[in-house]
Amino acid sequence: MIDFTVENEIARTSAEVFSCFTDPSRVATWQINTVSGVPEEGEPLCPRSRLREVQRPPGGKEVRSLVG
């Protein structure tokens, strides 16, 4: 397993940042190769939620996955 850390300073409140990172409809704005993210079965996001994601790596075909 690979473990890494990325640190960035964001000129927003903690609540704004948390809201962005917990909104599945915005996952493509902060994950480079992600096209979309939708909660499984359309359920609201909660602990242990899983997302249906669509990713498109550079020059590749779309890959659908269930993450969580």
Q: Please, which pLDDT band fits residue 64 given cuts at 50, 70 and 90?
A: very high
User: What is the Cβ-side half-sphere exposure of residue 40, based on CA atoms within 13 angstroms?
Assistant: 11
Q: Whole-model pTM above 0.85?
A: no
DSSP 59: T
Nearest of 37, 26, 35, 25 to residue 62 by alpha carbon: 35
Measure the CA–CA gap between 5 and 46, rounded to whole angstroms. Answer: 24
In this prediction, residue 55 has a pLDDT band, given cuts at 50, 70 and 90, of very high
